[in-house]
Every structure is written in structure tokens, then in C-alpha cells.
Homo-oligomer: A and B are copies of this chain.
Amino acid sequence: MAGLVAEIGAVALYDELRAGRDARGLLTDVAGRLAEIEPERDLERAVRRAIRWIVPGDEEWPASLDDLDRAEPLHRMGRAPLGLWVRGAVRLHELTTPVAVVGSRSATTYGTGVAADLGAGVARAGAAVVSGAAFGIDEAAHRGALAASGTTVAVLACGVDRAYPAAHKRLLDHLAEHGAVVSELAPGCAPTRLRFLARNRVIAGLSQGTVVVEAAVRSGALNTASWTSLLHRPLMGVPGPVTSAPSEGVHELVRSGAATLVTRAGDVLELVGGMGEHLEEAPRAPVTARDLLDRVQQRVLEAVPVRRPASPESIGRTAGLGAERVRSVLDDLARRGHVDRLPTGWRLAEATDAVR
């Protein structure tokens, strides 16, 4: 149907179907549904509940969704949605660097902790979080973003006036107040399995990249991951213990090269941001006292035995330096706490936890 909308336009198609003409074989399928639909009534009701309907061409329409029309579809609901129902103060075209944070409902404490940290970190950098509204990772990502007073968007597999799961009614109301709740399904629609799969493409399509935090081998989050790959947008995965089943799907994504490993918001922003926008320094150990030694001092230090003390002569032979020189360097190294002088010779100080 999306194809026909693109071809002859939504209004023409609607009129044709409404008039009972068979729009290229679609009528049997659509007629039953169409009879029950009263678009004017739906829109009026939505407006009363502060829900708006946006379509391509509207200022608020997020252009990033249009890439779905160019991607090879994963299944028959593969195209860009015909429109979106939006509840919330945030306007979708104004989202900064939206990042999807998705994962298992049956997440571990580790997973929800990481998702909340990521949500907060992404939000703190000024980027928006996008996710579903499920228990587990989705919920944690939103809560993290909210805690950082950031922008976060929930995409539902039912109408935006409904709460699924019901326990998340307050969370969804809160999201509508501080972010946005979005769905391509009309208000009142119930969630079905197919709608969850279709919803996942909207999450991927709305976002500049997707991070998967904990996803078992058969997880809906991996479906969102596939959509992200089809859209040629950065797909990222947060690792966990290899002994943890909820991390198995993520590890497979990273192992196969489909996803890049990320460990924190900085990594994510580096990948989804504009070129050079969020450059992240690789983690480095703090500079140690050892780094401050000159080359000769380092050379001597490297030749000092770890355990059994040695004489300056023996150390000098290993280091390729004369014993006199070594003796004075050793005195200096001892003052700096790198080596210990024992009655039987010199050895590394206990505290020196060097590369071994």
C-alpha cells in the first residue's frame, strides 16, 4: 500500500478505495478495514488528547525515516511509515543526533545499569535517546536520559494513547511530557507481534545509530540491529560477561563484524556524531613515575631483577652499561622508590607493578 501511496498519492488512493473502486487488487484486503475508519473523527480525538499526526512533507517529519524506502526491506512492513502519531513536547525534526538504545526485556542488573549510564551519557552530550517502552533495557535507557534531563523518545507498537506494558503508563506519560511518544499506529491500536517487528524499523530509522545492550540470541533488539545495518548506519554493541546469555546476541553481532564494540557514551557519540564532532580519547593508564625517567634510567630499571637481588655489575651487564654508571643511576632510582637496596644487591621495589 505504501507503494501505491507513493505512486498515486494518499488522497487519491483513499478516495478510490472509499468509492469502492478496486485500487489494483488492494480492495479485498483493505475494504473491511476502511469501512470502520473515520479519519476525521480520529484526528479530532487525537488533537483533543494532544496527539498530532505528521506525514512526509510536514516540517516535523524526520527525514531520516525516508532512508527506509531506499533500504532492502527485511519483511513486508519494510517501507517508511506513511505518517507518525506523536505525543509530546519534543518535535521530531529537532532531535539532535538521535541514538537508539535497545536490548532485552529480560535484562540483567548489569545490563540495565549500563543502559541507564549510556542513556544518561548520550543525553548529557546533548544527543537524544530513542527506544521502545519495554521493561529492561528500553526502560533503563529512558530513565537514564530523563535523569540527565535529556531528550528521549519512545516508539510504540500500539497507539500512543495506550500503555504497553501497562506498568509503564507513568513512564510513558513522563516521556510525553519531557520527550516524545511516537507510533505509526493510530490511537487505540493494540500491540501485536508483527507490529513490534514493524516498530523496530521506525526506531532504527529515527536514529543515527543503534546501540544494543544485552540481547539474547533471539531478541527483538537484534531485529532493530538488522534494520540499522540495512540503513548503513552505525550499529554498536555493549559487551558483557561471555557467561551471560543476555549478552550472547550482542557478542555475535560484534564477533561477526556487524556491530562495533562500545563501552560508554563517548564511544557511541564518536561513531554517530558528525566527523570529528565527538572524538574520544582511547583509555590510557595515568602517567606513572616510571614514564618520567630518562632513557638510561629506564634501561637500568629494566635490567633490575624482580626478586633475587643483583649486584650493580650484574645489572650493568644486562643493561649494557658500566658498573659505575649503573651504581649512580641505582641510587637515584632508589630515591624515587623504583628499586630497593638489600644487603645482597638491588631489586625492583615491591610497589613497582610493571609490565611483566
Contact = CB atoms under 8 A, between A and B. Distances in A.
B355 A223 contact: yes
A173 interface: no
Contacts of A344: none
A251 interface: yes
A263 B247 CA distance: 10
B305 A355 contact: no
Interface in A203-259: 216-220, 223, 238-243, 247-248, 251-252, 254-256
A356 interface: yes
A289 to B, nearest CB: 13
A36 B310 CA distance: 15
A213 to B, nearest CB: 10
Contacts of A308: 190
Nearest to A314: B190
Nearest to A310: B190
A288 B264 CA distance: 35
Contact of A242 (B192, B264, B284, B354): B264
Interface string A314-356: 0011101000000000000000000000000000100000111
Interface of A: 29, 32-33, 36, 105, 110, 113-114, 132, 134, 157, 164, 166, 190-194, 196-197, 216-220, 223, 238-243, 247-248, 251-252, 254-256, 260-264, 267, 282-285, 288, 301-308, 310, 313, 316-318, 320, 348, 354-356
